[in-house]
Chain A
Amino acid sequence: MHRFIKLKINFKTILFKKYVMLIPLLLLFACVEEYVPQTSVFEDILVVETILTDEFKNHKVTLTRSYKFEEETPQYETNALVWIEDSQNNSFHFSETSEGIYISNQPFMALPNVSYTLHITTEDGKEYQSKDETIISASPIGNLYAELATGNNETGVQVFIDNDNQLNEDNFYMYEFEETYKIITPIDIELDFETANEGQEYLIAWGQWAKSFDILSSPHTTQTSVCYKVDYQKEILLANTNNLNTKIIKFPIRFIPYNSYLLRERYSILVKQLVLSEDAFFYFSALKKMQINGNVFIENQPGYVKSNIYSKQDENEKVAGYFSVSQMTSKRIYFNYSDFGFEKPLYPFYVLNGQLDYRDATWKDRDQDDRELIYEYINNVNSEYTIYKIVFTNDIPFYYYTFDYTCDCTTFSSNIKPVFWED
């Protein structure tokens, strides 16, 4: 059998990883400055994000355009015609469900020994087509596990993947993960509040007007204290096997520091293994390499990486993205901090617990105008705060407030328990 080695480690990346550059003495004179590149020459190209797997489902194609450095987000390529043809003369058409997102009209899956091509006709009439791609089958994802690990002066949990590659073939893999973690807010909302019966403004002190209103409360019914948040990876993970590295062992997927709030309640990670063709592997590893491309002295040669999607009118037109047809297998695990003997991680924010007094309606007493704030917090006027309970002291009501995200996790995540979730 032929040999093929592609080490999992990008050596030059290691060099540049930690600090972009810190070479002493000489570098007292050297200079590295961050700057905002001006897009003096801008190339507007089509970006295709899709992967056709052997899952029977409605597959998705996302079409965007490249954008300038000065811009925050890409424009979507809308109103395009998107379809996939296979070598058995089937066509699977896609419809745009939201801007730039095209979902297949029917569920289907990539079958072995059938080749697929992606076709796109943009609104301005340009036709794009991918090369024929066929699914490559390989050993399914192996063991997914988490271990205590220490590295770069940090202790935490390292998630690894193994693939024993029982078919013993030279294969190329891309790993994708999505992590889900449970959130329990430090403060629960006891009551919901609203204002009513707003009165006329009256002069409460020299130069300051106040307004009376009633505060109505009702039991808090929506569930806002237990949520689940889903995050996706921010890097390309690639691995391969060959007859020297016949197995994938302890391939690192994700590292979570011991004090990360992700571990505070419960954490789950789903890892997908996608089997790539050699060309697709080259494509993504080239993109990965260019993610970190230099330091003061060495600059990796960057460039445009040729996609397998090309314009039918002009083969040299640049297109970003790769149409890969891949076998997909996945695994999920759960863990939390106590599995590794860590102390319970703290919240990543300060737990504010303030009180407001309706009677204080002026700032002339060298204090904030509590009444106005109560009004603003209840009615969400320019406010990041929520009033969550009343406490009566000597029959006087005090309104407790805190940050929205401290008591309501739906502000940044979902209170719907995912179907897969196991507590």
Chain B
Amino acid sequence: MKKFSKILKWHVFILHLVYFQLMYAQHDQVNYPMLSITLKNNTLEESIEIIENNTNYQFYYRDHWFGNYKYNITFENVALNEVLDKLFLDTKINYYIIDNKVFLVENTIIKDELPLDFFTNFNKSESINETIALKDYVQDTDEIITIGKENRSGVKSKYVVTGYVKSATTNEMLKGVRVFTKKATVETYTDKNGYFSLNIIPGFNTIFAEIEGFQTSDIDVLIYGNGMLTIELASNITQLDEVIIKSDANQNIKKVLPGVVTISVKEIKIIPTILGEMDILKIATTMPGVKTVGEGALGYNVRGGKPDQNLILLDNAVLYNPSHFFGIFSSVNPFSTGSVDIYKGTIPAEYGSRLSSVIDINTKSVNKEKFSGQGNIGPVTTNIALEVPIIKDKTGVLLSFRSTYSDWILKQLKKEDLKNSQVSFYDGIIRLDSDLNSKNQLKATGYYSNDRFSISSDSIYKYGNKLFSVEWKHQLNDNHDLNLQLSDSNYSFGLLYEGGFNNDFDLNYSVRDAEIKLKFNYKLNSKHKFNYGLNTKFYNINPGEISPLNQNSTIGYNKLEKEKGLENALFISDKYDINDKLSVDFGLRFSLYAALGHGEQNIYEDGMPMSESNIIETVSYANNDVIKTYFYPEYRASARYTFSPSFSIKGGYNKSIQFIHMLSSTTSASPIDVWKLSNLNIKPQISHQLSVGLYKNFNQNQYEISAESYFKKMNNTIDFRVGADLFLNENIESELLVGDGKAYGIEFLFKKSGKFNGWIGYTYSRAFLRFKSEYLMNQINNGNYFPANFDKPHDVSLVANYKLTERYSFSLNYLYQTGRPITFPVGQYYLNGIEHVLYSERNQLRIPDYYRLDLGINIEGNHKIKKLAHSFWNISVYNVLGRNNPYSIFFVNEDGMIKAYQSSIFSVPVPTISYNFKF
């Protein structure tokens, strides 16, 4: 015998329960077993037990419904339903039989205690308040789950159950939860608000809610009509937050947009760490289509795009530099990160201003119920994150901070040259979440990161991000909601040079953008969902300021004029479900950019290269005068056709415009690369991408397989003449080369979930650039297409995780990539008394192929629930094979003689132990 209290592991809130009607009609078609039993002074409960013992039927009920009435009755060959009819004749109990289960329902209790209009006036937006009211009620009565109200016009073939899935511990709405019933194999996934909608046949159903990192919930329900259900999932309490890649795993079949990768912080342990630093963005680079130039390289190359072509958002604010210490660590704290969405194919119309992708990082929503925290102690950093409720269930704050102690270690080293070096970084996040009321939610995030390093004793580099954002969500009505976002983002770097001669200086650069975005989601009907709005972004760049560091310095104070620009956009998109199988998503974005004064702009002779000698005149613009405007429509379209619930095809077209450009004269991006706005002489970059993909899941979505292919064209991409000076150069356009690019590729991904989980990705992709000009000096490789620095045709990544027991799990990461192209020396020559290296055409040769194997073990502490803190040890070995992967090859002229050097970042196996805890 099972009791509901046992079945209901989860709190289930019943939001629509008014009348219900048992569907006796179903009984008619069923042959019930014949019973011969004798009841002698038996209570109802005992009688049911006797029936259970004599049949293979199980009863589900709450015993306190039963009175103390004792039965004395004998049945001879009576059908089960007749027996039950007799037993419940004088009670308020009804029953419902399905398969071999008998559900007993006392239907009148709930109705008696709740006012009728409470439900009839119910709407979604009130649910939060009402949920609290109902919660106590439900807990007190442990009522059974029935959904729907009587529909006197008759029983429909299907009803809609809608609701939310949230985390029982943090109250965070859970995205991507698979909600399904076994019976009719209906399934859906919660959207980013945790909302789901499920079509269910009437009668008894078991609703499952499943997502990794949480215990699966199975809720038995009786469906009588449309209704609502909020499901709370308890996390696997023994586990720390983990990052799981669900690259769309959940919705990979159904979502309309092709080329979306979703990583949620659930299973960060899945990948062995470098020096104990868990890094969610590093996991992203194991997914097809997301690459880096090399281990230490800053930024990401998405589908043949440059690192500056990714819109990296941290809670809606632009993160200009996502890395600490060049590109070794990501500057996003893993403990405060909730999820990362990467749009590498069709980008939603609400996003603009970058060509290749949107990397949308969301910090995690705050646990407003109880104080909690987690931390990590590793060899490089210590990291701590705390979640503090301020007003219980309403307002909470997330605080996280991470800092290196490498400087301290350096001081202990005996080596003199190392003592003079310094490397340090830290970052911190504060996020405030407040549920103002059921219709309004407020979220504010502040982020700060700082890096400082010095390689030689005479110069110190420093750089950092400062971000601030506020988001207000407001429910206008059932189908319409509003989202207002304000963000301010700042990236700056500086160089302090103290050589001791007369050229000591302090150099500073900063880029800042402030954005306001107003967005509406409007559900016109079940077929059309609109997303529309507008945004305005104001750029303000301080392109360089140099000042003498002391009196002896002959460096004059110099400051380049600020660059300002205003980027406005209107956007609208419509997700149109044409039928069950075919959905389309049309997006349109109008971008209007204006470069603003003050400023001086050179006008060059038509058709001549932009060099000083070809300047016809220089025009001055007053403050906020419009220097130049650019207007472009951007089209975003995608379509999906599902052959079956587990098999679909998608296609998309994406056009994007970019008005801000990172100027880099190095082979990979660096933290001291400057950003430059489009102006009279620098046109915006434009890209077009066509992509198509096939998606298939097997075995209840345990296996996922996908193949995506894309072709991309880019115009007005920027490169530089060799040896260009990008700092404090007012006529930077004279060193600039404008060209185009093309990229194409095919990406395969196979994923498995379960105890042994992970993925294998293979990508074949190419990325080419072309700089053609009638002026030979402005050409690269004679105006022919050449492979970009990040063109790595073959890319294989394997991530595997095996959970041996609750306490031990093993992880493995293997990466293989074709060596990146480099411009290689093809000889040397002697000129003016100095040896010079003669280089090949740009990117003509490749460095050797890259491969690396990392292994890791996670050892969990014991699993006593009452323990103060849960903890685990992570032991990783990075580059187990000790492969000396060349990262770069460079040349230095020492006293007129050329010396060649080859560098690699981690050339030996790097073992690490780190300790992680959670409380």
Binding site for B on A (CB under 8 A): 1-12, 14-26, 29-37, 39, 41-45, 47, 49, 64-69, 73-74, 149-153, 158, 170, 176, 232-236, 244-245, 249-250, 252, 255, 278-279, 282, 285-306, 310, 315-316, 318, 320-321
Contact = CB atoms under 8 A, between A and B. Distances in A.
A303 B823 contact: yes
B723 A294 contact: no
A3 B500 contact: no
Contacts of B622: none
A14 B558 CA distance: 19
* Size bracket of the B interface: 35 or more
A34 B900 contact: yes
A342 B418 CA distance: 32
Contacts of B558: 5, 244-245
Contacts of B827: 39, 42-45, 66-69
Contacts of B618: 1-3
Given A22-B421, A244-B556, A294-B903, 6 more contacts: A6-B725, A19-B456, A29-B910, A31-B884, A294-B888, A304-B722
A354 B735 CA distance: 63
Given A295-B455, A301-B823, A20 B423 contact: no
Nearest to A69: B828
Nearest to A1: B618
Contacts of A42: 826-827
Nearest to B731: A4
Nearest to A153: B500
Contacts of A25: 380, 406, 409-410, 423
Given A296-B888, A297-B296, A321-B831, A37 B903 contact: no
A298 B666 contact: yes
7 contacts: A5-B730, A11-B727, A19-B455, A151-B501, A295-B903, A302-B839, A303-B839
B799 interface: no
A232 B613 CA distance: 32
A411 B28 CA distance: 122
Contacts of B327: 297
Interface of B: 275, 296-297, 325-328, 380, 406, 409-410, 413, 417-418, 421-423, 453, 455-459, 461, 495, 497, 499-503, 505, 507, 546, 554-556, 558, 560, 600, 602, 611-613, 615, 618, 665-668, 670, 672, 720-725, 727-731, 735, 776-777, 779-780, 782, 823-834, 836-842, 844-845, 884, 887-893, 895-896, 898-908, 910
Contacts of B727: 7, 11
Contacts of B828: 66-69
A30 B612 contact: no
B718 to A, nearest CB: 13
B328 to A, nearest CB: 6
Given A234-B896, A320-B829, A33 B901 contact: yes
A39 B827 CA distance: 6
A299 B777 contact: no
Contact of B782 (A16, A150, A236, A316): A316
Contacts of B832: 49, 176, 236
B628 to A, nearest CB: 18
A36 B900 contact: yes
A299 B667 contact: yes
Nearest to A244: B558
A301 B666 contact: yes
Given A7-B725, A299-B888, A306-B776, A26 B423 contact: yes
A135 to B, nearest CB: 15
A37 B834 contact: no
A290 B723 contact: yes
A25 B419 CA distance: 11
B643 to A, nearest CB: 47
Contacts of B842: 301, 303
Contacts of B423: 23-26
Contacts of A151: 499-501
A305 B826 contact: no
A305 B722 contact: yes
B723 A252 contact: no
Contacts of A37: 825, 889, 900
Contacts of B611: 278-279
Contact of A305 (B410, B723, B889, B891): B723
A26 B844 CA distance: 31
B418 A69 contact: no
Nearest to B888: A299
Contacts of B672: 11-12
Contacts of B615: 2
Contacts of A321: 831
A76 to B, nearest CB: 10
Given A22-B418, A299-B666, A9 B905 contact: no
Contact of A287 (B502, B723, B890): B723
B457 A18 contact: yes
Nearest to A45: B838
A41 B325 CA distance: 35
B903 A31 contact: yes
Given A9-B505, A32-B901, A315-B776, A291 B826 contact: no
Centre residue among B453, B829, B899, B900 by max chain A CB count within 10 A: B829
A158 B501 contact: yes
A150 B500 contact: yes
A320 B723 contact: no
Contacts of B458: 14, 18, 152
Nearest to B422: A24
Nearest to A150: B500
A68 B835 CA distance: 12
B900 A45 contact: no
Given A11-B507, A15-B461, A290-B891, A6 B729 contact: yes
A293 B891 contact: yes
A423 to B, nearest CB: 28
A252 B503 contact: yes
Contact of B890 (A47, A158, A234, A295): A295
Contacts of A74: 829-830
B198 to A, nearest CB: 50
A17 B456 contact: yes
A35 B503 contact: no
B777 A279 contact: yes
A304 B612 contact: no
Contact of A252 (B275, B326, B501): B501
Centre residue among B453, B729, B888 by max chain A CB count within 10 A: B888
A310 to B, nearest CB: 8
B600 A3 contact: yes
B426 to A, nearest CB: 15
A284 B285 CA distance: 39
B651 to A, nearest CB: 36
A290 B836 contact: yes
